[in-house]
Structure 1
Amino acid sequence: MFQRIPILAKLLLFCFMFLSIFTLAYNVYSKPDDAQNPGKIGGEKLFKANCAGCHLNGQNLIKKDKPIIGSAKLKSKELFSELLNHPPKPMPEFKNITSNPDQLDALYKYVLSLKKK
């Protein structure tokens, strides 16, 4: 049966199988750390996804006189968590981050690092 298939069809079948195997292997072995462990997301990624829209580079695009950098709310992780749970308007709550200690810690450390940049 395989001998009756034209050479072009065999070549296409071979290419399809090769690409399928390559794609499968690539997806299995090249996942980033946060995809393999969804509870462990880096602070920079959390910041970019949740904060950077208004707080680009640690500033405050809504209230320019109240940047994140140098804020008293960064004196402790507890104050930072309280800010995320009960923020001033129009900032939304981020209880999804404060309920995950690893994410809260990662975001807090990243925000603290902004003043050093």
Structure 2
Amino acid sequence: MSHYKHWKSWAIAIAAILLIWSGSLPAIAADATSNSVNGAKLFEANCAGCHPNGGNIIRRGKNLRKNTLKRHHLDSLEAIARKVKEGKNPMPAYGDRLSSEQIETVSAYVLSQAERDWK
């Protein structure tokens, strides 16, 4: 009988955790949508001049397409954020212009757009 009580306690605890977690899903979805919109705005204001639709008007072949990012080892959020922050000639560094949060947001936007082939 005590085994049953132990199992019942675990079941109640798991159910409570799932109930709490499921209640936060709308907030998580809203936050993701907000970050996507903010990422698009940051990209438009700071990046689209040289990288319209993920392209590159300055250096051919240095676009933001998925295969190009992978070829240059820039296919992770951390790698893109580092490039945005530090730059590399001819791309300027944005570490002094954007906050860390903004850099992370625009980097996530670039990565998500690359996954969608900028469509």
TM-score (norm 2): 0.55
Matched, 1:79 2:79: yes
For residues 75-117 of structure 1, give each alpha carbon's deviation from its aligned partner in whole angstroms, at most 9, with x where no partner exists: 22221122123222121111033x422x223212211232311
**What are structure 2's unaligned runs of at least 5 residues?**
1-36
Number of residue-to-residue matches in the alignment: 75
More helix by share: 2
The one of 53, 77, 82 aligned to 1:57? 53
CA RMSD in angstroms comes to 1.9
Q: What residue in structure 2 maps to residue 112 of structure 1?
A: 111
TM-score (norm 1): 0.55
Q: What residue in structure 2 maps to residue 88 of structure 1?
A: 88
What is the correspondence of 1:12-91 to structure 2 with a 5 Å cutoff?
A: 42-70=38-66, 71-72=69-70, 73-91=73-91
Structure 1 residues 76 and 113: alpha-carbon distance in aligned structure 2, compared to 1, 3 A threshold? closer
Equivalent pairs: percent with the same residue?
39
Supply the distance in 1 between the matched residues of 2:106 and 2:89 (Cα, whole angstroms).
20
User: Does 58-67 or 47-56 show the bigger shift?
Assistant: 58-67
- Structure of greater Rg: 1
SS in 2 for 1:65: coil
